[in-house]
Structure 1
């Protein structure tokens, strides 16, 4: 088996999801399946149990996983040792929202590229609520995300920015929402919520603490989708202020005041602690820390 097959196995062994691994490895599902089957044929034993809705490692798969991870690490070490100079080479995979890609990452990427021009950067954007899952499933090595209320012990986090969570309504509403404890009839006003993520946790808690049963019109994935629906007059919603400020739809919605304020977001870079020993990821993390200290 070759090193690419090893890398493909490693990704699937962590994601335990053929669809996610095929997309991350730029393979069709059938090509991914064939790769795993070839490894299993070489070893003479199944490595995965495939159910209708789940994938798990067999005992042999757990043993091979340790071997495969060590092999990939040794391969990376060999590539560095065979290089004819001390230039840092390799690649790093990043994941963040579109807003983070345009507002937070540019200064970090600029400094990193200047210091390490031979490193290939792979950047994927999407729903910020998926950032930690991307890290866990090895679909990204560094993510930009809001600090969760409970940070997994294996994840390290560096704060880069803070932003309030704000309620928004369509800008062309005839009358702005009244504020105060009892000024809004939430039974009548349609509310658009994020399907998941920290903003959903905090708005659900806010409604619960005020003993409000909201009139939920829709649940959407991503702040951009939520902003679009509010701008069309379909309801009100909650987004991070940073997202609102960077959105092309910012003039089509407006903020209204609620009491008490929602707990703001702390946004930062996340990676797994074990990744910091990798030279490329370690160098990127050093850049993150440098940029953080220069901003503070």
Structure 2
């Protein structure tokens, strides 16, 4: 079966940008444009509104998106069930995680997985961990490694890998910050460098609210590695998972602050759509975590 046009359509749905979608699919923008036009012609409806600057889904495109995602999932399940009795599983799994997670957890997982299933290809994407779960929910990736949110979507499966404390960090020595970092800091005077969104941002916001404190937010950044970098340069105090700090080349330039009460730790693990666990390929990867 030819599922290529559906995959191209889903990629454009996720990016709403012909350039980024064509790059992700390894084709030219003109080839992607032709494929989408052929799909629209075969369906007899317009799936996207586009002009020189923007791309958006039409109402028909939004409806077709649900079908396309479900059709690709079901095709994977059927195809892989036919291969399940074969001597070796083969196919492709798309995995998304942060750079830190890729060498903290993924290396060990893939080392065993590749030995057991050499014909299964891994398509790895790295980026901001706060986007990880949404990419799985959208069907962009099959599996991700991320921190478990306080409320888990009912359609997601989660398997624990590790626990990582969420810590306050400051520069090793700073004549401007040190006088502010007492046993009970006045947070209205301390510049903070925080994640734009995600698990850590929600937890630190609740932490400050419980203390009736209004911090000075010096910067909001995407990616925990960027927080470590800015803190090491003396821009302020940050909050990051300790595992990020342990793997950072700048770890010796920052220090962990003894702030009480401590923030709730990260519960790090694998995420996948529950219905995708029907796939022998996904289940084979999932089973690597005991």
Deviations 1:192-220 (A, max 9, x none): 11111111111111111111111111111
Deviation at 1:61, TM superposition (A): 6.5
The unaligned stretches of length 5 or more in structure 1 are 291-296
Q: Could you say if the C-alpha distance between residues 112 and 242 of structure 1 is closer, same or farther in structure 2, counting changes exceeding 3 Å?
A: same
The unaligned stretches of length 5 or more in structure 2 are none
What residue in structure 2 maps to residue 120 of structure 1?
121
What residue in structure 2 maps to residue 293 of structure 1?
none
1:26 aligns with 2:26: yes
What residue in structure 2 maps to residue 215 of structure 1?
216
Instruction: Give the distance between the partners of 2:28 and 2:226, measured in 1 at CA.
Output: 28
Q: Could you say if the C-alpha distance between residues 45 and 178 of structure 1 is closer, same or farther in structure 2, counting changes exceeding 3 Å?
A: closer
1:47 aligns with 2:47: yes
- TM superposition score normalised by structure 1: 0.85
1:277 aligns with 2:278: yes
Between 74-83 and 215-224, the greater mean CA deviation after superposition:
74-83
Contact 1:156 1:273 in 2 (8 A): yes
Q: Could you say what the CA RMSD is over the residues aligned between the two structures, in angstroms?
A: 2.9
Q: Could you say if the C-alpha distance between residues 107 and 72 of structure 1 is closer, same or farther in structure 2, counting changes exceeding 3 Å?
A: closer
Deviation at 1:144, TM superposition (A): 0.3
Deviation at 1:78, TM superposition (A): 5.1
Q: Could you say if the C-alpha distance between residues 76 and 274 of structure 1 is closer, same or farther in structure 2, counting changes exceeding 3 Å?
A: closer
Contact 2:80 2:281 in 1 (8 A): no
Deviation at 1:284, TM superposition (A): 0.8
**SS of corresponding position for 2:157:** strand
Deviation at 1:47, TM superposition (A): 3.1
1:184-199 to 2 correspondences below 5 Å: 184-199=185-200
Instruction: Give the distance between the partners of 1:279 and 1:217, measured in 2 at CA.
Output: 47
Contact 1:11 1:138 in 2 (8 A): no
**SS of corresponding position for 1:187:** helix
1:37 aligns with 2:11: no
Between 30-39 and 248-257, the greater mean CA deviation after superposition:
30-39
1:67-216 to 2 correspondences below 5 Å: 69-70=70-71, 73-74=74-75, 77=78, 81=82, 85-174=86-175, 175=178, 178-180=181-183, 183-216=184-217
Deviations 1:34-80 (A, max 9, x none): 21111111232223455986733544773685378547744774587
Between 206-215 and 50-59, the greater mean CA deviation after superposition:
50-59
Instruction: Give the distance between the partners of 1:229 and 1:277, measured in 2 at CA.
Output: 43
Instruction: Give the distance between the partners of 2:269 and 2:69, measured in 1 at CA.
Output: 31
Count of matched residue positions in the alignment of Structure 1 and Structure 2: 286
Between 88-97 and 50-59, the greater mean CA deviation after superposition:
50-59
Instruction: Give the distance between the partners of 2:174 and 2:106, measured in 1 at CA.
Output: 35
- TM superposition score normalised by structure 2: 0.87
What residue in structure 2 maps to residue 17 of structure 1?
16
Contact 1:49 1:58 in 2 (8 A): no
Instruction: Give the distance between the partners of 2:215 and 2:159, measured in 1 at CA.
Output: 35
Contact 2:166 2:265 in 1 (8 A): yes
Instruction: Give the distance between the partners of 2:228 and 2:140, measured in 1 at CA.
Output: 27
Contact 1:10 1:65 in 2 (8 A): no
Deviations 1:264-283 (A, max 9, x none): 11000000011111221121
